[in-house]
Structure 1
Amino acid sequence: MKGTINIKRQILLPILGASIFFTTASFQNDFFEIAKQIEIFTEMYKQLNMNYVDETNPADLMDNAIEGMLSELDPYTKYWTEQEVEKSIINRRGAYTGIGAVVSTRDDKVIIVEPWKDHPADVAGLKAGDEIIEIDGIKLADYKENAGDLLKGSADTEISIVYKRQGKEKSAKVKRQAVEVNAVPFYEMATPEIGYVVLSKFNEKASRETKAAIVALKEKGATKIILDLRGNPGGLLSEAVAVSNLFIEKDKLITSTQSVVEQYNKTYLTKRPAYDPDIPVAVLINGRSASASEIVSGSIQDYDRGVVIGARSFGKGLVQRPKPLSYGTQVKITISRYYTPSGRCIQALDYWNRDEDGNAVRTKKEDYNAFKTVNSGRTVYDGGGVQPDIELASAAYSPITTALLKDNAIFDYATEYYYNHQVTDMDSFRFTDTDFNDFVNWVEKKGFDFNTETESAFAKAFKTAEKEELDDDINSSYKAMQEAINNAKKKDMKDKKAEIMSLLTDEIVKRYFYRDGLYNYQLKFNPEILEAVNVLEDQNKYNRILK
């Protein structure tokens, strides 16, 4: 026996020693390469700032260097300034002090996207579409920092705002106050037996608020639940696991992460007994349901725990973690890919194998891999987000719709509609076919420049032709091609009528009746919610889908 042990030691110890040696050697090589590149960069940075022909700005040079380096990776790996770190903390905790409105920056203006009912911006009379051009005497056109930060400050402090509405300049005073951002902004009974819960983000309060909403709905008689994750961009992975745990039993795998860095290879299991492991569930998703939303919808689907309805989700299968840097800054790094319980990675874009133009490549449908759900053995696929069990055109986000959203065509049309139409009865409101045709004509008349990938490719080729002095020969052909593309875009808008009309309806209803009004309107008329109600009320259909 001792001889056997000694032989094993003689064999294993050299192998273990070799393993440690190569691991250590590999680490030392990586460390040397990093140190070498840092030294080269530091010297070059110093030489540029000391010797360049014109005056340089060291901070701008460094920012550009950082942006250039990170642009080669993925869009989620980002450098955060002190201000951005503070924003991430606010988003995670769901509380801040400000004017109580969603805003965006566009062309040296801060646009009110959505004032929250009875919050300071709403009380001061601000409305969606208002363009703030001055804050406390600071003209935003001359302000080089993030103008939205000027709206934040201590509670009960007052700010003076100058804004434009429909071309006319107006002013208002707004008193800041503490604002709670709820992860669950709305829950209500859809029918006497079906409860409806909107989960809009995965901050630190997500699972707690979701459970509280379900408890309250069950007290009202709910025996079935609709969980709405549409438009939910994600958030904390731990909260995604906790939300899944409300419906899935203890010690079940919800997601696993894989990375070349060993410490990030982890499994995440449910930690507690499920709040209700048997209640029938319908989960709503769309093309803007991402990350943590896909962990929840993917785990519900993989355990055959509920029916997923809507449109294919965004496809963000990457996990980020912030790492502290000097002077209060951070870098948020993609550390791993996540996988659903069946083994799917739902990442849609491949940032590490780009095309010849440097764009991330989308996984093709024919390259999707098939997996089996845990309990029923149903076939599900990876490669491009979570595919719903029931797909509806009204929930989709096609390229033309995404382009319209990106260029604010739907938002701006809703603003114009609001100031030209009186709507007092929410239940009687319908966005009609005539309204849709008016929208199509309005987009064409306004000349919204929403570029498709096809247009971008042709524009790039034409610029190359100009440099090579070939533009005179192909100019007429290029104009004809542009005209053909514009006609195709108009046709495409009509082909995607269902999804565009759904978004226009939501945006317009929200203008008149706020977000709570929108949720109540959707309970009665939204196609995805109505389909969820239909499935949950038909036990045979529900069971048939899950088997």
Structure 2
Amino acid sequence: MKTILKRKILIPIFAIAILFTGTAFKTANNNFFEIAKQIEIFTTLFKELNMNYVDETNPADLMDNAIKNMLNELDPYTQFYNEQDVEAERIKRTGDYTGIGASIKTLKDRLLVIEPYKGYPADKAGLKAGDEIINVDGQNVADYKDDAGNLLKGTPNSSTKVTYIRQGKKSSTTIKRSEIEIDAVPHFSMVNETTGYIVLKKFNEKASQQTGYALKDLKAQGAKSIILDLRSNPGGLLSEAVNVVNLFVPKGQLVVTTKSKVKKYNRTYYTKRDPIDTEIPVVVLINGRSASASEIVSGTLQDLDRGVIVGARSFGKGLVQRPKKLTYGTQLKVTISRYYTPSGRCIQALDYWNKDEKGNAVRVKQKDYNAFKTRNGRKVFDGGGVVPDEALDYSKNSAITTAILNNQSVFDYATKYYYMHPNIEDINKWKLTDADFINFKNYLKKTGFSFETETEKSFAKAAEIAKTENLDEDIKRDYNALIENLNNSKLKAIDENKSQLMSLLSDEIIKRYVYREGLYDYYKIHNAEIKKATEILNNTSRYRKYLN
């Protein structure tokens, strides 16, 4: 074993030596000695640790953890990918894979079905959102050390037997895997006689082709205006963002510029194709989870005064990553540059190079934003995501809404609601009632939902300091009163965010009955953001006023 271990250690050392011999001296700013010194320290430590530690070690796991913890000091987008991670990234990029056809969340001891895709194997086998998979082909998920989600993957037409828990009852089913194709555009249709609606959910390799097809089809159906829905679109390929913009602007238009410390990564991206329509009015919907490529599209169309942006401030990711192949099938996805929209702004919201005392990235303060101008002279700003031309309060997640979502309370309540109401006659006429909202609040209370505000954290810290200064008896009474008032304030905040919470609950519940496809049809009738977009597009003078 020692011989094998030495070989594992020596191979990277030789590789590093070759790397430095070939490239290090070509880079003027490269601190060769310091890097070489730190590598030597680490390899020596790694060898001694694995050879001498009292228990048997797993060198691969130790190295994987060491690399990932090192990268945690940088931004969250610079990541090391082992062989399994590389495959997962390929799936994101292409949108194709072989599996059971469901969105799965890996928990500590089980796999949670988030959403079965209509017509795919998991759906055909009877799995539903909220099912907890505990065993795959005889392998207990709780005992599986790696990502248990990989247990569900396999070759086309192969079968897998899963055991799951639904509403406390254990069941089993056999699923026949198939090739899964994830559309970038899962839905497009007419909202009314003149307005087309396109949902673009991710910027994989199909994004611009499918968006272009949808745009042409809607125009053929009579669309005189377009709503492009980028809400909760996390981004993807920069090139596809450029191509989507190209559908609406002429060939040769600057879309995005990237700037890096490495000169070869400094690039300008222009549209290269003939557009489909440069005149059709466009409203782009965004929210706080619209990021990266979504922000390139919305930010560029805003800078060029080519579309009206509606919703809530976007996430604010102005960083560009590039994959770098490493040895043994692994990769490094590294942040190489910042991107800038045509007006010259970078919308990066978090400063990962300046962190607070807890190690969290600092958000760029509004006073530090810089103003830029669109083609028509409108003011736009950097530093905090894309700010909509029409900002809607109900599109913005509050602190308590975010906490409720992160706690999975909306998802879990939707599961509970579905099994309490197994049949709904007409989903497009269905609405949650005030009584349902009261039930949801009771559910939050019953399940022990709680979250700690920044104010509470500050008060707790002050209380601890007070104890060391022997002031606790004088302060304790006031402190308890403050905490009680804060708790009352949080309860009040749930009521104040009722409309948004009702909307989030409705979205999750509707998918249980009519899948995601049915949700988009429901949106066209009930969704407030789509109603606002339609209202803007129906009033030509109002639409033009936003852009001038």
Normalised by the length of structure 2, the TM-score is 0.91
Native 8 Å contact 1:130 1:165 kept in 2: yes
- Map Cα deviations across residues 429-486 of structure 1 (whole Å, 9 max, x no partner): 1122332232122112211244444455666778899999999998877765554433
- Map Cα deviations across residues 287-310 of structure 1 (whole Å, 9 max, x no partner): 111000000000000000011111
Pairs within 5 Å for 1:471-486: 482-486=483-487
User: In 2, Cα distance between the equivalents of 1:466 and 1:46?
Assistant: 47
Structure 1 residues 125 and 461, CA gap change in structure 2 (3 angstroms): farther
- The equivalent residue for 1:117 is 118
User: In 2, Cα distance between the equivalents of 1:398 and 1:320?
Assistant: 29
- Which range moved further: 283-292 or 43-52? 43-52
- The equivalent residue for 1:409 is 409
- The equivalent residue for 2:222 is 221
- Map Cα deviations across residues 189-242 of structure 1 (whole Å, 9 max, x no partner): 011111100000000000000000111111111111111000100000000000
User: In 1, Cα distance between the equivalents of 2:468 and 2:63?
Assistant: 32
Deviation at 1:394, TM superposition (A): 2.5
User: In 1, Cα distance between the equivalents of 2:466 and 2:58?
Assistant: 36
User: In 1, Cα distance between the equivalents of 2:26 and 2:331?
Assistant: 29
Structure 1 residues 258 and 457, CA gap change in structure 2 (3 angstroms): farther
Native 8 Å contact 1:394 1:502 kept in 2: no
Native 8 Å contact 1:309 1:391 kept in 2: yes
User: In 2, Cα distance between the equivalents of 1:151 and 1:48?
Assistant: 35
SS of 2:338's equivalent in the other structure is strand
SS of 2:36's equivalent in the other structure is helix
SS of 1:423's equivalent in the other structure is coil
User: In 1, Cα distance between the equivalents of 2:480 and 2:177?
Assistant: 52
User: In 1, Cα distance between the equivalents of 2:337 and 2:490?
Assistant: 38
- The equivalent residue for 2:343 is 342
- Map Cα deviations across residues 320-340 of structure 1 (whole Å, 9 max, x no partner): 111111110111101111111
User: In 1, Cα distance between the equivalents of 2:157 and 2:478?
Assistant: 61
- The equivalent residue for 2:248 is 247
Native 8 Å contact 2:282 2:306 kept in 1: yes
- Map Cα deviations across residues 59-115 of structure 1 (whole Å, 9 max, x no partner): 333223212211110111111110010111111111111111111012311111011
| Letter paired with 2:397 | Y
User: In 2, Cα distance between the equivalents of 1:501 and 1:448?
Assistant: 17
Native 8 Å contact 1:228 1:284 kept in 2: yes
SS of 2:103's equivalent in the other structure is strand
- Map Cα deviations across residues 324-357 of structure 1 (whole Å, 9 max, x no partner): 1111011110111111111111111111011122
Structure 1 residues 263 and 467, CA gap change in structure 2 (3 angstroms): farther
Pairs within 5 Å for 1:375-386: 376-386=376-386
Native 8 Å contact 2:130 2:412 kept in 1: yes
| Letter paired with 1:80 | Y
User: In 1, Cα distance between the equivalents of 2:215 and 2:168?
Assistant: 46
- The equivalent residue for 1:388 is 388
- The equivalent residue for 1:325 is 326
- The equivalent residue for 1:160 is 161
Pairs within 5 Å for 1:160-239: 160-239=161-240
Percent identical across equivalent pairs? Answer: 59
| Letter paired with 1:377 | G
SS of 1:217's equivalent in the other structure is helix
Native 8 Å contact 1:393 1:498 kept in 2: no
- The equivalent residue for 1:19 is none
Native 8 Å contact 2:259 2:337 kept in 1: yes
- Map Cα deviations across residues 101-159 of structure 1 (whole Å, 9 max, x no partner): 11101231111101111111111111110111111111111111111111111111111
Native 8 Å contact 1:393 1:499 kept in 2: no
- Which range moved further: 87-96 or 52-61? 52-61
SS of 1:486's equivalent in the other structure is helix
Structure 1 residues 472 and 57, CA gap change in structure 2 (3 angstroms): farther
| Letter paired with 2:360 | N
Normalised by the length of structure 1, the TM-score is 0.91
- The equivalent residue for 1:399 is 399
- The equivalent residue for 1:420 is 420
User: In 2, Cα distance between the equivalents of 1:64 and 1:275?
Assistant: 48
Unaligned runs of 5+ in 2: 1-23
User: In 2, Cα distance between the equivalents of 1:257 and 1:323?
Assistant: 18
Deviation at 1:262, TM superposition (A): 1.6
Structure 1 residues 28 and 320, CA gap change in structure 2 (3 angstroms): closer
SS of 2:196's equivalent in the other structure is strand
Pairs within 5 Å for 1:520-531: 520-531=521-532
SS of 1:242's equivalent in the other structure is helix
- The equivalent residue for 2:7 is none
- The equivalent residue for 1:296 is 297
- The equivalent residue for 2:533 is 532
User: In 1, Cα distance between the equivalents of 2:155 and 2:473?
Assistant: 60
**1:146 and 2:155 correspond:** no
**1:287 and 2:288 correspond:** yes
Unaligned runs of 5+ in 1: 1-22
**1:363 and 2:364 correspond:** yes
**1:79 and 2:74 correspond:** no
Structure 1 residues 513 and 465, CA gap change in structure 2 (3 angstroms): farther
| Letter paired with 2:378 | R
Structure 1 residues 346 and 44, CA gap change in structure 2 (3 angstroms): same
Native 8 Å contact 1:403 1:452 kept in 2: no
SS of 1:221's equivalent in the other structure is coil
Native 8 Å contact 2:314 2:387 kept in 1: yes
Native 8 Å contact 2:216 2:276 kept in 1: no
